Structure 1
């Protein structure tokens, strides 16, 4: 059996002009995760990210603890859905500013928007939900091809929840709740063969468990 380790990216820059850049805290989270994985001897022999900057910066932080690792594959299927674009589309083209900048308002509205998106109730979304499901599954399938014992992929909360939900046969609506609780640099692990794919653990952050790091846990 082989192992797939999915890592949600480190803390990005919520509310900033460019969300896709890791915060200083995000860089620390990435480095701590790399140290933990290396300390446990969890050296990947296949690596991947989505094409987003927050994915590649997170993997850069993880790499520092290992030295040489395989070249990174990029798969757009691991990219997050366009949550800002979905919020705007759900609100007729432009969502109120606070839905993009205020965390509480943002996540309350996002939950409602994702339900509408899954039900194909949003006119002209940046991406159809069915297309998101398809590209995430294709990225998972490509990364779980034969030839590697341990695969590590840095992605986002949406793809993590989608892959977990598929593995467990969960209804799409239930995957929203998974999506919104995935922590930055959380580890979700699967066991797979050519014919099987099983969830092993979800949303682990042992590198943030020490008392002096608990305040470093983040969700965006």
Structure 2
């Protein structure tokens, strides 16, 4: 069996001018991931990430703990879903029939918790409705590209390999749902609980792929105790 590790990026910079960069905590989480991979003897044959800065930096920091140089492939199909694009296009439509969402949005700059409620409403609408008329990437296009990227990694790397894919919560949720045969309308249930730098393991052989475990952050919990700081975050 070959193995793929789906690893979410470290904490990004929510609320800053540039969200797409690791926060200082996010950098420490990525470094902790390198420490974890080395300590349990996970030697990657190849690594992939999207082209987002937070994904690439997490990958680079995590690979710093590998004994041999690991090739790092950039594939934009592993990028996160475009939440900003979706909120801008779909929130005004949803607000017409969702007073609670309208109140959250009209209340000014939302907190991280409130923003997550907005993302849930918008994401659910995006995956269950035909949004092609809004000029944004559709769920069908996004998910099919993520699925094809995973298949190509499996084909390129072949049997007996250990591969890391450093990506984002929405992408991990999309891929896990696909592996489990879960419909798009239920993908958000996998999306919301994914921790920063958590690890999800897939096994594959040929074209067959299965889920071994999902969203493991136990190593971050252990390192939090050792280092005297909380390394476990959602956002």
Identify whether the pair has TM-score above 0.5, normalized to the shorter chain: yes
Q: 1:136 to 1:99 in 2, by over 3 A?
A: farther
RMSD across aligned positions (CA): 2.1
Residue 182 of structure 2 corresponds to residue 184 of structure 1: no
Which structure 1 segments of 5+ residues have no match? Answer: none
- Which has more helix, going by share of residues? 2
Give the structure 2 partner of residue 208 of structure 1: 220
Give the structure 1 partner of residue 57 of structure 2: 57
Q: What CA distance in whole angstroms lies between the structure 2 residues aligned with 1:196 and 1:99?
A: 47
Q: What CA distance in whole angstroms lies between the structure 2 residues aligned with 1:21 and 1:64?
A: 18
Aligned to 2:230, the other structure's residue is in SS state: helix
Q: How does 1:1-220 map to 2 (within 5 A)?
A: 1-92=1-92, 96=105, 101-122=110-131, 123-145=133-155, 146=158, 149-210=161-222, 212=225, 215-220=230-235
TM (norm. structure 1) is 0.92
Give the structure 1 partner of residue 96 of structure 2: none
Q: Which has the larger radius of gyration?
A: 2
Q: What CA distance in whole angstroms lies between the structure 1 residues aligned with 2:232 and 2:83?
A: 21
Aligned residues: 220
TM (norm. structure 2) is 0.87
Cα deviations across residues 79-109 of structure 1 (Å, max 9, x unaligned)? 001101111111339x947686421211111
Aligned to 1:92, the other structure's residue is in SS state: helix
